[in-house]
Structure 1
């Protein structure tokens, strides 16, 4: 396998890891308005992801950096053509991080309410726009002979991409709901399970339409296998959620995300950004990649650093594995 194929695979793995981990982050942020009934319950939700949300975002930084180094043509076309939506995502992530840190700095109701609004919207907007962005990448955009984006912002708001945005929004919300059921105790846990069922049914309908559309648009046998795995895992997550097996429900909702994102990259390969103007103008793993020497150095660095990062993040999740509830907030106050 050529090194540019290896790095396409590694970048796909980084995006899969990001959506798996940040997906429930976004979902929990959205649930602060949909599930929590009062400020203590919102604090419980925020505390479930408090120790891990910033570590989850490392996957995004790594994916962006790897794309810049391994496929500079892809990076340049993507970030210039998708400048406005990616800027909105970036601003949302900045606001979200600040909101997590600043919310508890003052014991003032208005202060905390405003930051809680910020957490909700800065979780919802990226959850929607990431699906729109990847929908356009897979479906293809207007790229000219100079490998530059020749469309407008409104060209990105096509039916396929918007459907992709709704899929990621509902899927991440479902992922967050089953994570909440896994990490909490008491009434909020039961309500999270009920909400997960409602959101999960909507997710199943939207995801099935989107993935089947993707398969007919440019899929092959490998992407079809990923589609089947995604659908079966989602149905399994719904079933596990119903019988109170939150661990299995969370694992299977994660498999759904992994299989769905893998399907998108399998459909995309060997392109990295297809052109809807002319197939010959598409960016591919070969014409958009860095030199072999650059990719070799990157491979050695990744081989050394990646196991360390994975071990550290796995240790973090193990340390903060216990369930929490509003009663724990009262205990911490004494």
Structure 2
């Protein structure tokens, strides 16, 4: 296996980790409006991800940085062609981070309510737009012989990509509902389980259509296996949620995300960004990668730094592993 193949796999792992962790993070943000009944319950939901949300975004920074260094042609075409949707995602992530920090700076209800609106919308939009972006990457976009995107923003809003956006939105929200049932106590825990059941059923329908479409269009045996794992894991997650086994349900919802993302990357390889105009203009792991020496240096750096980051993040989740409820929320001043 060549180093550019290794780095394609590593980037796939980084995106998988990001969607697994930030997935329930986005889901909790959406559920602050769908699940919580009052300000105290919204505070409970926000506090479940309060210690970890910024650490989850490290995976996005790592994925973007690795793409820039390992596949500069892919990075350039992706970020120039998808400039507006990626800029919107970036703005949402910035506003969302500010909302988490500034929401508690003043006690007025209007102040906190406005920041809670920001948390909701800045969780919902990225959850949808990431699916649209990856749907277009897998489907292929208008790339010319100079490796430049020549389409428009409206070309990105095709039925396949929009369906991908709905899948990621519902899947992340389902993942978040299961996480909420795992991390909370009392009535909000029970409502989270019921909400997860509804969201899981909707996700199952959308995911089967989207993954089946992907398999028929670009799939092979490996992607078919990944699709089967994703579907079985989603069903198992629903069963475990119904039985009140929140830990197992969360694990299976995570496996669903991992398998679904793996399927997309399996259908993509050896391309990193197919051209819908001419197959010979596809960006591949070989023609879009950096030099072998650059990839070698990156491999050494990643081999040293990645385990340290993962150990630290795992320790963070262990420290903040206990459930919380409204009884743990101090009265507002």
* 1:272 counterpart SS class: strand
* Cα distance between partner residues in 2 of 1:161 and 1:173: 18
**Deviations along 1:281-311, whole A, 9 cap, x unmatched?**
0000000000000000000000000010010
Query: 2:82 is matched with which residue?
Result: 82
* 1:8 counterpart SS class: helix
Query: 2:100 is matched with which residue?
Result: 100
Query: 1:269 is matched with which residue?
Result: 269
Query: 2:39 is matched with which residue?
Result: 39
CA-based RMSD of the aligned residues comes to 0.9
* Cα distance between partner residues in 2 of 1:274 and 1:333: 53
* Cα distance between partner residues in 2 of 1:217 and 1:106: 52
* 1:105 counterpart SS class: coil
Query: 2:168 is matched with which residue?
Result: 168
Query: 1:10 is matched with which residue?
Result: 10
Deviation at 1:333, TM superposition (A): 7.8
* Cα distance between partner residues in 1 of 2:86 and 2:225: 31
* Cα distance between partner residues in 1 of 2:13 and 2:234: 20
* Cα distance between partner residues in 1 of 2:107 and 2:276: 54
**Deviations along 1:165-198, whole A, 9 cap, x unmatched?**
0000000000000000000000000000000000
Query: 2:230 is matched with which residue?
Result: 230
Query: 2:59 is matched with which residue?
Result: 59
* Cα distance between partner residues in 1 of 2:208 and 2:69: 34
Alignment of 1:128-139 (within 5 A): 128-139=128-139
Unpaired runs of 5+ residues, structure 1, are: none
Equivalent pair of 2:28/2:176 in contact (CA under 8 Å): yes
Are 2:283 and 1:283 equivalent residues in the alignment?
yes
**Over 6 Å off, 4+ runs:** none
Query: 2:23 is matched with which residue?
Result: 23
Deviation at 1:329, TM superposition (A): 1.0
TM-score by length of 2: 0.99
* 2:329 counterpart SS class: helix
Equivalent pair of 2:107/2:332 in contact (CA under 8 Å): no
* Cα distance between partner residues in 2 of 1:60 and 1:216: 29
Deviation at 1:264, TM superposition (A): 0.2
Query: 2:119 is matched with which residue?
Result: 119
* Cα distance between partner residues in 2 of 1:167 and 1:290: 33
Deviation at 1:271, TM superposition (A): 0.2
* Cα distance between partner residues in 1 of 2:234 and 2:92: 28
Alignment of 1:104-253 (within 5 A): 104-253=104-253
* Cα distance between partner residues in 2 of 1:23 and 1:205: 19
* 1:280 counterpart SS class: helix
Single out whichever of 50-59 and 321-330 deviates more from structure 2: 321-330
Query: 1:257 is matched with which residue?
Result: 257
Query: 1:308 is matched with which residue?
Result: 308
* Cα distance between partner residues in 2 of 1:166 and 1:314: 30
* Cα distance between partner residues in 1 of 2:275 and 2:161: 15
* 2:272 counterpart SS class: strand
**Count of matched residue pairs:** 333
